[in-house]
Structures are given as C-alpha cells and as structure tokens.
Amino acid sequence: KQEVTQIPAALSVPEGENLVLNCSFTDSAIYNLQWFRQDPGKGLTSLLLIQSSQREQTSGRLNASLDKSSGRSTLYIAASQPGDSATYLCAVRIMGFQKLVFGTGTRLLVSP
C-alpha cells in the first residue's frame, strides 16, 4: 500500500527565506508526482507535476525534484513571500492506477 509522508508538518519562516518541503513515498512504482497548494477552506491549486521519467520541474520561484529510486521529492521555494502561506500537498499517482495518494501536508506560514 502506497503511503505518502510530508515533513515538516508545519513551518514558519520570515519573509525572504529559501525553504524546502519534503515528500516521501513508500512504493517507487509511480506514474507521476504532483505538488499542490491549498489555501484555508479552498480547493487545490496544482503547482508542479513531475512525470516518473523526469528529475525536476520549475515554475517561477518553485522547483520540484524527484528521486524515484529513493522515494523522495522536494519542493524548493525561493525568496518566500507572505502570499506563499498555505498548505502544500504532494500526491503520487500509482503506476497502473488513476487515483492519487495524497501526503499529509505541510502548513507554511511566511511572516512579513
């Protein structure tokens, strides 16, 4: 059974810091991995999607890496801003299945 864990569960940083969010999964047979952002009481916003054959994806200040063999992904946020405050979720799509398995989430607070 695929299990997805995110560390840390919560993170509080001052504005301007670079930070790393971690995601680990137990079964390396994945189709892709996706990072989402969720604001309180809202749905999900897709940030980055990495196919299993890829090593990383970048969008603006965000960079996500994938090491499938070790079952790990990181989301790097450069020059954090208060507007980045949200919960960040990673999710893996298991090979041969359509459904996503979500991680436990990291609640990020960036203070001015």
Partner 1 sequence: GAVVSQHPSRVICKSGTSVKIECRSLDFQATTMFWYRQFPKQSLMLMATSNEGSKATYEQGVEKDKFLINHASLTLSTLTVTSAHPEDSSFYICSARSGGATDTQYFGPGTRLTVL
Strands 19-25 and 86-94: what pairing?
unpaired
Residue 53 contacts partner 1 per CB under 8 A: no
C-alpha 90, offset from chain centre: 4
Residue 100 contacts partner 1 per CB under 8 A: yes
CB 32 to partner 1: min, Å: 8
Residue 47 contacts partner 1 per CB under 8 A: no
Residue 94 contacts partner 1 per CB under 8 A: no
Exposure b/e, 85-108, CB count within 10 A at least 16 = b: bbbbbbbbbbeeeeebbebebbbb
- Of 40 and 112, the one with the shorter C-beta distance to partner 1 is 40
Q: Could you count the other beta carbons within 10 Å of the beta carbon of residue 81?
A: 12
Residue 102 contacts partner 1 per CB under 8 A: yes
CB 16 to partner 1: min, Å: 27
